[in-house]
């Protein structure tokens, strides 16, 4: 490790920022480990895919709280942010005690009552928790008509208002059909081996399933519109991470799904209640060679400052991560190699997120890793179960530099990580990262010092649009440069980021202009907004 760190240090030039990320989880009160199947060997695929995390402000006190999803043998946990980087477990008191194979989590105010609700996916029955005034969470799954008629392997999820009616609809990815009674044992067939070691079977060889879209009705219920909307049309995909965004700039939210060992999906919103799956022709199904990758997590940002949302997807070991550059109107080119991202092929990547850690106005990229199979440690090679994280600094001009080795000790810790969520837990303009580690306590990464660059955080509240402002697009201009971002639910790997939008402003002490396109179609402009604070913006009624 010492040698590796030294080599990585050599690659970081003096001009690059030197962040110092520390893992403050234990000090912050996050000491409880979260079970997720075997720690030394895994019998079934269900033990490999979980789980996500969320950063949300459930009680509207202005501080982000923490939600961690658990695998079988534990409960999902909600931790209240007490301030001063300390959290208290409030799971039992708020009615969130659970059991089962928790997978993903997404947040949104589905009933527009001003409090952010939670949706948790499972191998088994998903759960919708209605936030009752920040004092209690009520399981309203059945009342909301979200009961499933069979056991499904639900993974990524996202609230979105796909028909812009002001009510949040819900997308749920499905990985595959899994039944431990019929799934072969490790080593039973060619799909149950990895580099000569018997490992859990799948996903290849296990039956596919279909993704689900629920339309929100008035009165707090949902209707499964997967068939009518054509979401269920594509077959032959092992769906995991979900990302929403208006990729083609038509004002309507589209849905991207990272798929494992099969082509990833891009559902383009047709504006009439249906979607057309167009990932191949739009260039986001495969890698540059036209090969399916093992897509896990997915995130979006305008990394090159051209005004279009680009997509990043984490993949399996022996595969490159994939960065798709949006060349306009939702047509993408694989820019992985050109952007300098093609190096880290020894890790299985999961949680990922664009965030501006040095507030220079360019979105950087962090991904967390961990092999699917603990058994790989027996091989003794470069591929290991527990891995460090990777941090890419956005150098501008479409290039990233790998600064992982010189970004503080937290990135070099070895974990088998899955979900990661990004948000500012202390409202100081430096983004923290919460990570779910298999069979360990979570990690909470915080920079030891904030830099001199300025920032602004926008908390949007819809009026005519959905109250969480999901789908709202912001264009911020400072010192002659524009940045765009959107408010989104879900994302990364089965996780939920801070719903507020964070922008680094570099040396600018104010944002010259902030333009908001609300999902309702309304536009709003603010000028000369002072930096280094959280700004609340309500949609004009």
**Residues in touch with other proteins (CB under 8 A):** 7, 11, 177, 179, 182-184, 188-191, 194-196, 204-208, 236, 263, 280-281, 283, 286, 288-291, 318, 320, 327, 331, 333, 337-338, 340, 342-346, 379-382, 399, 402
Residue from 14, 8, 19 nearest 410 by CA: 19
What is each CA distance from 122 to 68, 157, 244, 381, 489, in whole angstroms?
Answer: 13, 11, 20, 34, 18
Residue 255 Cβ, how far from other proteins at the closest point, in Å?
Answer: 20
- The whole-angstrom separation of Cα 282 and Cα 286 is 10
Residue 3 Cβ, how far from other proteins at the closest point, in Å?
Answer: 10
What is each CA distance from 441 to 63, 77, 511, in whole angstroms?
Answer: 21, 11, 39
Structure tokens at 424: 């500012």
- The whole-angstrom separation of Cα 529 and Cα 459 is 13
Residue 280 Cβ, how far from other proteins at the closest point, in Å?
Answer: 6
Residue 327 Cβ, how far from other proteins at the closest point, in Å?
Answer: 8
> In which residue are the tokens 């409090």 written?
115
Residues with Cβ within 8 Å of 537's Cβ and at least 6 positions away in sequence, in order, are 458, 459, 460, 461, 514, 516, 524, 526
Residue 380 Cβ, how far from other proteins at the closest point, in Å?
Answer: 7
What is each CA distance from 47 to 36, 51, 165, 199, in whole angstroms?
Answer: 6, 10, 38, 12
CB closer to other proteins, 327 vs 475: 327
292 CA to centre of own chain: 21
CB closer to other proteins, 196 vs 219: 196
Partners of 65 in beta bridges:
56
DSSP 177-202: ---TTTSPPTTSSGGGEETTEE----
What is each CA distance from 202 to 191, 361, 365, 462, in whole angstroms?
Answer: 6, 41, 29, 42
CB closer to other proteins, 117 vs 287: 287
CB closer to other proteins, 308 vs 503: 308
CB closer to other proteins, 280 vs 414: 280
Residue 33 Cβ, how far from other proteins at the closest point, in Å?
Answer: 30
CB closer to other proteins, 46 vs 531: 46
CB closer to other proteins, 16 vs 459: 16
- The whole-angstrom separation of Cα 209 and Cα 35 is 26
Residue 397 Cβ, how far from other proteins at the closest point, in Å?
Answer: 11
Sheet order of strands, 364-369 included: 349-355, 364-369, 390-394, 400-402
Residue 243 Cβ, how far from other proteins at the closest point, in Å?
Answer: 22
CB closer to other proteins, 181 vs 525: 181
**Helix-strand-coil split of the chain, %, nearest 5:** 5, 35, 55
Burial state string for 347-365 with b = 16 or more CB within 10 A and e = fewer than 16: bbbbbbbbbbbbbbbbbbb
Residue 176 Cβ, how far from other proteins at the closest point, in Å?
Answer: 9
CB closer to other proteins, 60 vs 189: 189
Longest CA span, the chain = 65
CB closer to other proteins, 145 vs 191: 191
Residue 166 Cβ, how far from other proteins at the closest point, in Å?
Answer: 35
């Amino acid at each position: 490790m010492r040698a590796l760190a030294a080599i990585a240090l050599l690659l970081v030039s003096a001009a690059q920022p030197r962040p110092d990320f520390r893992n403050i989880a234990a000090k912050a009160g996050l000491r409880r480990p979260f079970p997720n199947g075997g720690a030394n060997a895994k019998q079934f695929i269900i033990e490999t895919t979980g789980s996500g995390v969320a950063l949300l402000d459930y009680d509207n006190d202005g501080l982000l709280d923490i939600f961690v999803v658990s695998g079988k043998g534990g409960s999902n946990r909600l931790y209240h942010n007490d301030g001063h980087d300390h959290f208290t477990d409030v799971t039992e008191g708020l009615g969130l005690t659970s059991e089962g194979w928790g997978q993903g989590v997404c947040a949104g105010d589905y009933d527009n009552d001003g409090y952010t609700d939670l949706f948790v996916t499972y191998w088994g029955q998903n759960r919708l928790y209605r936030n009752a005034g920040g004092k209690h969470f009520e399981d309203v799954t059945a009342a909301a008509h979200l009961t499933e008629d069979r056991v499904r392997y639900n993974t990524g999820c996202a609230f979105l208002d796909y028909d812009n009616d002001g009510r949040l609809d819900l997308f749920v990815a499905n990985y595959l059909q899994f039944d431990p009674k019929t799934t072969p044992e490790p080593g039973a067939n060619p799909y149950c081996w990895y580099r000569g070691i018997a490992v859990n079977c799948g996903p290849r060889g296990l039956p596919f399933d279909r993704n689900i879209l629920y339309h929100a009705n008035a009165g707090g219920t949902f209707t499964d519109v997967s068939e009518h909307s054509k979401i269920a049309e594509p077959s032959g995909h092992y769906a995991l991470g979900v990302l929403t965004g208006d990729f083609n700039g038509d004002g309507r939210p589209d849905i991207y799904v990272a798929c494992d060992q099969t082509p990833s999906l891009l559902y383009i919103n047709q504006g009439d209640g249906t979607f057309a799956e167009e990932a191949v022709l739009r260039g986001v199904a495969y890698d540059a060679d036209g090969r399916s990758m093992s897509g896990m997590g997915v995130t979006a940002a305008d990394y090159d400052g051209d005004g279009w949302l680009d997509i990043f997807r984490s993949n399996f070991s022996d595969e490159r991560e994939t960065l798709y550059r949006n060349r306009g109107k939702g047509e993408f080119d694989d820019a992985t190699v050109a952007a300098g991202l093609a190096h880290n092929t020894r890790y299985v990547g999961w949680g990922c997120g664009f965030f501006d850690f040095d507030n220079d106005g360019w979105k950087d990229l962090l991904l967390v890793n961990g092999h699917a199979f603990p058994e790989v440690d027996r091989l003794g090679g470069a591929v290991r179960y527990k891995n460090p994280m990777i941090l890419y600094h956005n150098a501008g001009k479409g290039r990233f530099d790998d600064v992982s080795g010189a970004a503080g000790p937290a990135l070099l810790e070895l974990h088998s990580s899955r979900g990661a969520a990004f948000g500012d837990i202390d409202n100081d303009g430096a983004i923290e990262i919460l990570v779910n580690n298999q069979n360990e306590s979570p990690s909470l990464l915080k920079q030891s010092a904030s830099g001199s660059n300025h920032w602004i955080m926008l908390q949007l509240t819809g009026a005519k649009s959905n109250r969480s402002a999901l789908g709202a697009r912001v264009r911020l201009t400072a010192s002659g440069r524009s940045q765009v971002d959107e408010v989104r639910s879900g994302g990364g790997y089965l996780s939920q980021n801070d719903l507020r939008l964070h922008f680094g402003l570099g040396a600018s002490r104010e944002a010259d202009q902030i333009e908001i396109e609300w999902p309702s179609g309304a536009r709003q402009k603010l000028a000369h907004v002072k930096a280094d604070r959280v700004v609340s913006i309500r949609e004009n009624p």
